[in-house]
Amino acid sequence: MKITVKVPATTANLGPGFDCLGLALPIYNEITVEETVMPGSGIEINIIDDSETFDILSIPKDENNIAYKAIQLLYNFIGQSASDLKITIKTNIPVTRGLGSSASVIIGGLIAANELLGHPADEAVLLSIASEVEGHPDNVTPALVGGFCLSSLESDGSVVYSKIDWPVNWKLTLIVPDYELDTSIARSVLPDCVSVHDAAYNIRKCALLIDAIYKKDSELIKKCFKDKIHQPYREKLVKGFKELNEFLENKEDILGCVISGSGPTFLVISENDGFEKVKDDVKIIFEDLNVNCDIKTLNIENEGSKII
């Protein structure tokens, strides 16, 4: 028996919502988990990249693979071993670009294995295991349930989340550079401590951001995407962020621009055809910086992961 799960990409943080805000996007990985025919054959992991555009050579194909680690925790949850499994990951989400590729394979592996085992784990258990492997819930939560999510990893390992409707006329544009940025490197530049002033700044901005999304307030949200906890430090690792922000500021129907997750992808939020009006100029900005990039304008993925 084998199970295949389709899991969306995600973008996290949205500026001030560091490690707690996330959105699901309509770009997908497919993760297949099947029980091997011969007992004792061990773990087999295959990576398929039909586009041949991602660096999949760096993805572990042994017990260090994050999908396998998550599955192993699920099996441990019911007192079993996950030794004899074949895992196939078909990638379409860019790797190490700040689009939740790791969260997608964690969630996909967990859902597929849970199906194979007869559903011993509920949503709460899956989110808890996924957050333990990923380290935070901002990507894994929308990858599982879709939409725009606020999530918190509690001290007992559980995840508390809330899902808020995203305004249908607010478009999401991804600017995906052709270079990678490992999450561990992007986290290494962050300070161990921040000042009370900077923490309070982010609390204010994050609270207003959530209120603006809930009320679908286009004017309010323009004031909410800045932060003082991660983007100022990651800016030096992400070519073009400063230039893009300066260019988009005060442009008609552009609501905001943030680093997607840990980068280097940018997320631009706009309404009407705001981004289309400036798309060619944005391309020129990155050409001047000698950065090739792929630009995609998308709607939100509201449904999350699906067994296919």
DSSP tag of 24: E
| Residue ranges matching CATH 3.30.230.10 in the chain | 2-165+301-307
Per residue in 204-215, pLDDT (tens digit) is 999 999 999 999
CA atoms within 13 A on the CB side of 235: 15
Give the fold, CATH level 3, of 2-165+301-307: Ribosomal Protein S5; domain 2 (3.30.230)
Q: Could you name the CATH architecture of 170-298?
A: 2-Layer Sandwich (3.30)
- Nearest one of 64, 21, 2 to 209, comparing CA atoms: 21
pLDDT at position 57 is 61
Euclidean distance between CA atoms 234 and 194, whole angstroms: 15
Total-model pTM? 0.93
> Percentage of the chain surpassing pLDDT 70?
95
Per residue in 57-66, pLDDT (tens digit) is 667 777 888 9
pLDDT at position 81 is 82
Measured between its terminal Cα atoms, the distance across the chain in Å is 14
Cα pseudo-dihedral 158, 259, 207, 10, rounded to 10: -40
Q: How far is CA 211 from CA 58, 175, 183, 207, in A?
A: 40, 26, 29, 6
Per residue in 221-242, pLDDT (tens digit) is 999 999 999 999 998 899 899 9
* pLDDT reading at 260 higher than 70: yes
Q: Which of 41-55, 102-116, 150-164, 172-186 is least confident?
A: 41-55
Q: Say if CB 277 and CB 150 are below 8 A apart.
A: no
| Residue ranges matching CATH 3.30.70.890 in the chain | 170-298
* pLDDT reading at 53 higher than 60: no
